[in-house]
Amino acid sequence: MMARPVASLSLDLDNLWSYMKTHGDPAWSSLPTYLPVVVPRLLDLFSEFSLRSTVFVVGQDTEIDENADALASITAAGHEVGNHSFHHEPWLHRYSREKLVEELTRTADGLEKVTGQRPTGFRGPGYSLSPTLLEVLAELGYGYDCSTLPTWIGPLARAYYFRSAKLDAQQREERKHLFGSARDGMQPVRPYRWADRNGVIEIPVTTMPLSRLPMHVSYVLYMHGVSPAAARAYFKTALRMCRLRGVGPSILLHPLDLLDATDAPGVGFFPGMGLPAARKIDVVRWCVRELTRHFDVKGTREHAAVLGGQSLKARPPALTATG
């Protein structure tokens, strides 16, 4: 029997406070959390499919006592933790080198203390990336990055976000590149290496080959709220396109994919939050089942290890959209 192509599944563990912060809600500063609720649901889902996955953690959450048990349970269950920055600011590409080193190091130290594991992979909040950030990742010994989202719809997502957010002029300036630009649709869908960055591997968050439309689960859930049949057809088509084009997809989950408005008060403005959590989890379960039917699903570190044995194209860091 022919081996199935390798794919990866990961989750960005953006906490309640981080969504509120990006949206301009001053109540974020009290650092409200839903990690004790969402992490057990996530681990149950992974266990159901016998998956070993990757959870990208925000460093600030490692310094909140209420989160300690939930975070420790991730690695105790055999999963990888990745670095998702410390302050979860999607304008990370504006940071100085010194501030980037502090962001990554403080998060790595916190993860090692709380989970017993030091991260080797990174994903920027809001897919934020820059040549300087790539240099820092290489200097700190990171083996892979997962910060690119090769799609053209970034400006549309940003317009929706600005319409609902409560931001002053400075906050709008900070966020003016949020979700990237239309030219991100020209970025590669397949993994590659960053040239002159010690071979750091880039694993893009996969978008549908050719159309470059997002296919991570949050989009499927949004479509499900309009038409369940269309949502399922869309995800099946996306996976079929990946198989036909030889793309081993890297599929992304978010905490809100497993929560509803009662679990996460204050972020009801996000699409899909009107769906009950149980219904959303059923949709996520279906997506994972479809993914595992056709691909050998791993965490992003294992995916990077497989890719490391292949001949990958090199890409200049100057081509990053936010850089």
- Other CB atoms within a 10 A radius of the CB of residue 159 amount to 10
Type and span of the H or E element at 8: strand 6-13
Residue labelled with tokens 């820092």 = 136
Task: Decide if 229 is inside a domain.
Answer: yes
Q: What are the structure tokens assigned to 312, written together? A: 């990958």
Predicted local distance difference test score (pLDDT) of residue 321: 45
Dump pLDDT digits (tens) for 221-235.
999 999 999 999 999
| Sign of the dihedral defined by the CA atoms of residues 289, 291, 296, 299, in that order | negative
Predicted local distance difference test score (pLDDT) of residue 323: 40
What distance in Å separates the CA atoms of residue 17 and residue 27, rounded to the nearest whole number?
A: 8
* Mean pLDDT value of segment 71-85: 98
Task: Decide: 114 and 68 in contact? Cβ < 8 Å.
Answer: yes
Strand ranges inside the chain, DSSP E = 6-13, 54-57, 80-83, 121-122, 144-145, 192-194, 201-202, 250-253, 296-298, 314-315
Exposure of 170 by Cβ count < 10 A (0-12 exposed, 13-18 middle, 19+ buried)?
exposed
Q: Report pTM.
A: 0.92
Strand ranges inside 118-249, DSSP E = 121-122, 144-145, 192-194, 201-202
Predicted local distance difference test score (pLDDT) of residue 160: 59
> Residue 65, Cα to own-chain centre: how many angstroms?
24
Closest CA to 312 of 208, 146, 184, 201: 201
Closest CA to 60 of 99, 81, 31: 31
3-state secondary structure of 234: helix
Task: Decide if 238 is inside a domain.
Answer: yes
Task: Decide: 298 and 179 in contact? Cβ < 8 Å.
Answer: no
Task: Decide if 305 is inside a domain.
Answer: yes
Written as one letter, the residue type at 162 is F
* Mean pLDDT value of segment 49-57: 97
Total structural domains within the chain: 1
What distance in Å separates the CA atoms of residue 274 and residue 225, rounded to the nearest whole number?
A: 9
Dump pLDDT digits (tens) for 110-136.
999 999 999 999 999 999 999 999 999
Task: Decide if 230 is inside a domain.
Answer: yes
Dump pLDDT digits (tens) for 12-32.
999 999 999 988 889 999 999
**Domain enclosing residue 296, as ranges:** 6-319
Task: Decide if 59 is inside a domain.
Answer: yes
The residues that bridge with 297 in the sheet, in sequence order, are 7
3-state secondary structure of 3: coil
What is the CATH classification number for the domain harbouring 271? 3.20.20.370
Rounded to 5 degrees, φ, ψ at 23 are -85, -10
| For residue 154, pLDDT beyond 80 | no
| Sign of the dihedral defined by the CA atoms of residues 260, 171, 133, 322, in that order | positive
Task: Decide if 1 is inside a domain.
Answer: no
Percent of the chain's residues with pLDDT above 90: 75
